[in-house]
């Protein structure tokens, strides 16, 4: 193995500042992300429960950065509404191919291989960005949140879950070390943790909680609330 290519756990190998979601990553993505992000499955289940208040007959629901499309299955399991349209967007072909394979028998679910910056969103009642915005260049984030706000029907909801930076250096140190302990508890060894962090340089760019709130407010959202928080992982529900 090339000296700069290292294992970061769950059979995934990458190198310095070179993390991406293509290639073989999709094969173990669901397992890896569920172990790496605290309350990952719980957050998806929470969004599915909240969807009861927003999904109606004829609704359109988007998942931005849908990866393997798992969140749609949890929302669909909670509703017997037949005319809901689900649209997943992700720029990684391998992720979309895996997502499509899960919904071959459901004509209401479609997946688009593209970046959200390039797509016009149709009027919708529910939009999810689940640990996605942190991987999008900061120069596009306000544009995207503006687009989301504009496309939502009045009373529709936007869920944004993100890894966030702490408000000052002391808290950031505490969060970083506590998260490292969390990953050790999940069975990752110290070198895997270090190499994963190294691979994410320049790829994962979290904002602070306040930075994300500023994006939301500038887009036009007035009503928003934190619905999940664990160390430096946070979920916010915004209602138009």
- C-alpha to C-alpha distances, 113 to 13, 66, 118, 194, nearest whole angstrom: 24, 10, 11, 31
pLDDT of residue 194: 81
CATH code for the structural domain at 40-165+210-239 = 3.40.50.150
- C-alpha to C-alpha distances, 8 to 181, 188, 194, nearest whole angstrom: 16, 8, 8
pLDDT tens across 31-59, in order?
888 889 999 999 999 999 999 999 999 99
> Are 136 and 206 in contact, with CB atoms under 8 Å apart?
no
All residue ranges of the chain with pLDDT < 50 are 1-3, 17, 19
DSSP state of 203: T
- Compute the half-sphere exposure of residue 178: CA atoms within 13 Å on the CB side of its CA: 12
> Could you give the CA distance from residue 25 to residue 27 in angstroms, rounded to a whole number?
5
pTM above 0.85, yes or no: yes
pLDDT of residue 196: 79
- The DSSP-derived string for 7-64 is EEETTEEE-TT---S-TTHHHHHHHHHHHHSTTHHHHHHHHHHHGGGT--TT-EEEEE
Q: Which long-range contacts (CB under 8 A, 24 or more apart) does 139-148 make?
A: 141/207, 141/215, 142/215, 142/218, 142/219, 143/117, 144/64, 144/116, 144/117, 145/215, 145/216, 145/218, 145/219, 146/218, 146/219, 146/220, 147/116, 147/120, 147/121, 148/64, 148/121, 148/219
pLDDT of residue 33: 83
> Could you give the CA distance from residue 65 to residue 155 in angstroms, rounded to a whole number?
23
pLDDT of residue 22: 57
pLDDT of residue 25: 60
pLDDT of residue 152: 98
**In the chain, where the domains are located:** 6-36+173-199, 40-165+210-239
């Amino acid at each position: 193995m090339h000296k700069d290519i290292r294992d970061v756990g769950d059979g995934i190998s990458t190198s310095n500042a070179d993390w991406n979601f293509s290639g073989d990553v999709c094969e173990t993505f669901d397992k890896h992300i569920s172990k790496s992000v605290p309350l990952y499955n719980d957050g998806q289940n929470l969004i599915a429960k909240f969807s009861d208040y927003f999904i109606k007959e004829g609704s359109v629901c988007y998942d931005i950065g849908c990866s393997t499309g798992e969140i749609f299955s949890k929302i669909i399991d909670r509703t017997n509404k037949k005319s809901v349209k689900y649209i997943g967007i992700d720029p990684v072909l391998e992720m979309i191919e895996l997502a499509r394979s899960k919904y071959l028998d459901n004509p209401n679910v479609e997946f688009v291989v593209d970046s959200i910056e390039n797509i016009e969103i149709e009027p919708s009642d529910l939009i999810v960005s689940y640990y996605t915005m942190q991987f999008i260049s900061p120069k596009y984030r306000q544009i995207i949140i503006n687009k989301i706000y504009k496309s939502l029907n009045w009373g529709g909801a936007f869920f944004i879950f993100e890894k966030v930076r702490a408000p000052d250096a002391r808290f950031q140190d505490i969060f970083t070390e506590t998260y490292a302990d969390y990953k050790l508890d999940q069975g990752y060894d110290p070198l895997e943790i270090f190499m994963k962090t190294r691979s994410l340089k320049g790829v994962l760019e979290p904002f602070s909680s306040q930075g994300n709130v500023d994006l939301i407010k500038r887009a036009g959202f007035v009503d928003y609330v934190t619905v999940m928080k664990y160390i430096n992982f946070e979920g916010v529900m915004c209602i138009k």
